[in-house]
Amino acid sequence: MPRGIQFCWGLLTPVIPLAIGIFFPTMITKRFIDQSAIRLLLGKNPSLGLRFLRRAAHDLSEAEDKFLQSVTLSVHARFAHLLLVLKDRYGSASDAEDISIDLPLSRQDMAALIGIRPETMSRTIKQFEKEGLAQFSGRRVHIPHLDKLMDALESDHVI
C-alpha cells in the first residue's frame, strides 16, 4: 500500500473506505496523497483539516445509522427503503402515485446493499409483488401506489 492518507468519497480516515467498499464495491475510487503534501496543505490552511474531520464525522454517523437500520429493521422495510432511495434518483412518475424505476443495480447488488442473501432477495421481491407494492420486470420496477411502499417502511421503522 502506498504511504500516505487514503481518500474515498472525500474522507480522511482509513476505516470508513473499507466499510464503504463492502457496501459499494464498484463505486470506490481510491486516491493516495503523500503525507508531506497533506502536512503542507494543513500547515497553510488549518481549516481544511477541520473540514475533513467534520466530513469524516458526518459520514461515520451516517454509516452508524445504516448499520443500526440493518440490525433493527426487517428485510421487508430495508428493501422498501432501498426502493424509495432509488426512486429519488432513478425513478420517473406518470403521476404522484405511479412510479417506475430503472434499477442501476442487479438483484445480487441490491441484496448486498441491504445485507441479505440473493435467495432472500428473490423471496422478498415475490412478496412485494404478491402484496401489490411493486412489480418487477428485469431491472425495471413499477410501483403503482407509492403511499403503500412508504407505509411498508414506516410500519417497521423503529429508529
Q: Are 48 and 42 in contact (CB under 8 A)?
A: yes
Cell of 125: 421481491
* pLDDT at residue number 20: 41
Amino acid residing at 93: A
Domains annotated for the chain, with CATH where assigned, are: 5-71 (no CATH), 74-154 (1.10.10.10)
CA distance 27 to 155: 31
Q: What is the pTM of this model?
A: 0.59
Q: Please tell me which of 7-21, 61-75, 80-94, 133-147 the model is most confident about, judged by mean pLDDT.
A: 133-147
Condensed to tens digits (0 to 9), the pLDDT of residues 5-46 reads 444 444 443 333 334 444 444 455 666 777 888 888 888 888
